[in-house]
């Protein structure tokens, strides 16, 4: 029979005798209890009945009283141990859940981890508290006279002393599962912390590249807006107006080179890690395999290059330099066409005379070939114009 049950039965028996005694000695005080005396005892005077009850108590052997005291003391001690154990286990389960949530959030908020990898320390504090509470629960369970596992099972508490992986009881298994889950997610979070620390320099350089790209886009946008409105008088004026933007473009390329240099290091994290932290993979030159973040960067860089090179139409059409350029180009075209046509006609006439034709026949044939040359040239010019209209210069 378990100690608590024995103590309870003993206390009940003892209290019953004492209550009977007090009811007999002091009748009329409160509701009277049914008499525990026999018919013959009811005729015994009150004083003698009291003496008789006292004599019955005195008849309990001293050694039994000592045993009862020890049993009661043990029961109280074990009740206190169980209470402290229950409170500690409840705190352990609560702290384990909180620590697991903390580590889970650390993993999900990758940008926060990247900005401050050591923020995992808040989760580590909770993890250490879990270890402390687990140690405290084990210490209580190892105290002298702590109830055996069957008691723990009966009161629906996990047994921290039970290391079995089967037949350990539902409550014990549940505690084992959440502790194992915490250990697993804590390990994953530590891996992410190390990756975040490794990527901090790359992240910083990408932030600098972001800022440089943004400023350079603004510069080119402002330049073209002004150029389209006011025009540019000369190539020299164009170069002067473009200089700040081109210098910004050079800075973008320099920052890009620094980031790419880091990305090519041997121990640099792979594409899956970069994607988790929402960072572009600047090593990836294959457009089909690029993630959205990487594609965004290459597209922005390509747009900047087009903005830098697309300055052909910003010079004023009526500017002195534009007129001089038009005249020079037109003169060059006339010169080339006239010289080519002259040489072609002369060549045809020479070949005709060489083949025995008369001078008049040779001139006629040369003129016909000249006209044909002009027609072919015009046809070719139309093809070039059509192509230019279909594929206008990129801006």
Reduce the DSSP state of residue 284 to 3 states and report it: coil
Encoding tokens for residue 379? 């046809």
* Better-predicted residue by pLDDT, 289 or 378: 378
Give me the DSSP letters along 327-367: HHHHHHHHHHHHHHHHHHHHHHHHHHHHTT--HHHHHHHHH
* Percentage helix, strand, coil for the chain under 3-state DSSP, each rounded to 5: 80, 0, 20
Residue where the block lists tokens 């008499």: 35
* Better-predicted residue by pLDDT, 19 or 76: 76
Q: Decide if 182 contacts 96 (C-beta within 8 A).
A: yes
Q: What pLDDT is stored for residue 74 in this prediction? A: 76
Spatial separation of the C-alpha atoms in residues 291 and 250, rounded to whole Å: 26
pLDDT at 15 over 50: no
Q: What is the mean pLDDT of the chain?
A: 75
* Better-predicted residue by pLDDT, 116 or 71: 116
Confidence of residue 10 (pLDDT cuts 50, 70, 90): very low
pTM over 0.85: no
Residues with Cβ < 8 Å from 320, sequence gap 6 or more? 233, 234
| Mean pLDDT value of segment 168-173 | 82
Q: Decide if 121 contacts 102 (C-beta within 8 A).
A: no
Highest mean pLDDT among 43-47, 156-160, 324-328, 357-361: 156-160
Residues 237-265: pLDDT tens digits? 777 888 899 999 999 999 999 999 998 89
Number of Cα atoms under 13 Å in the Cβ half of residue 312: 7
Least confident piece of the model among 150-159, 238-247, 280-289, 305-314: 280-289
- H or E stretch covering 382: helix 359-390
CA distances 43 to 27, 39, 145, Å, are 15, 7, 50
Spatial separation of the C-alpha atoms in residues 376 and 370, rounded to whole Å: 10
Q: What pLDDT is stored for residue 4 in this prediction? A: 44
Q: What pLDDT is stored for residue 247 in this prediction? A: 93
Spatial separation of the C-alpha atoms in residues 107 and 277, rounded to whole Å: 10
């Amino acid at each position: 029979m378990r100690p608590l049950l024995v103590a309870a039965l003993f206390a009940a028996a003892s209290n019953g005798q004492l209550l009977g005694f007090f009811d007999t000695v002091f009748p009329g005080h409160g509701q009277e209890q049914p008499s525990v005396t026999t018919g013959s005892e009811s005729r015994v005077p009150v004083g003698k009945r009291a003496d008789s009850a006292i004599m019955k108590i005195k008849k309990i052997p001293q050694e039994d009283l000592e045993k009862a005291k020890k049993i009661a003391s043990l029961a109280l001690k074990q009740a206190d141990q169980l209470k402290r154990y229950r409170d500690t286990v409840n705190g352990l389960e609560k702290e384990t859940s909180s620590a697991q949530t903390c580590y889970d959030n650390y993993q999900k908020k990758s940008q926060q981890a990247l900005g401050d990898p050591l923020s995992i320390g808040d989760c580590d504090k909770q993890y250490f508290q879990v270890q402390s509470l687990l140690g405290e629960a084990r210490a209580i369970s190892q105290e002298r006279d702590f109830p055996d596992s069957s008691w723990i099972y009966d009161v629906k508490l996990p047994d921290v002393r039970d290391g079995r992986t089967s037949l350990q009881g539902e409550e014990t298994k549940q505690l084992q599962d959440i502790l194992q889950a915490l250990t697993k997610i804590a390990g994953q979070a530590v891996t992410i912390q190390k990756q975040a620390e490794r990527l901090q320099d790359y992240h910083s350089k990408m932030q600098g590249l972001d800022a440089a790209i943004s400023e350079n886009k603004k510069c080119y946008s402002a330049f073209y807006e002004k150029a389209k409105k006011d025009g540019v008088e000369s190539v020299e004026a164009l170069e002067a107006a473009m200089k700040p933007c081109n210098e910004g473009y050079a800075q973008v390329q320099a920052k890009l080179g620094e980031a790419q240099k880091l990305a090519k290091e041997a121990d640099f994290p792979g594409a899956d890690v970069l994607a988790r932290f929402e960072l572009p993979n600047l090593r990836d030159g294959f457009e089909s395999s690029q993630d959205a973040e990487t594609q965004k960067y290459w597209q922005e860089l390509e747009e900047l290059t087009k903005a830098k090179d697309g300055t052909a139409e910003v010079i004023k059409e009526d500017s002195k330099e534009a007129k001089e350029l038009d005249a020079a180009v037109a003169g060059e075209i006339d010169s080339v066409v006239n010289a080519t046509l002259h040489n072609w006609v002369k060549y045809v006439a020479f070949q005709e005379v060489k083949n025995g034709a008369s001078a008049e026949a040779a001139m006629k044939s040369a003129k016909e070939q000249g006209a044909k040359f002009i027609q072919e040239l015009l046809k070719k010019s139309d093809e070039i114009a059509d192509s230019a209209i279909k594929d206008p210069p990129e801006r």
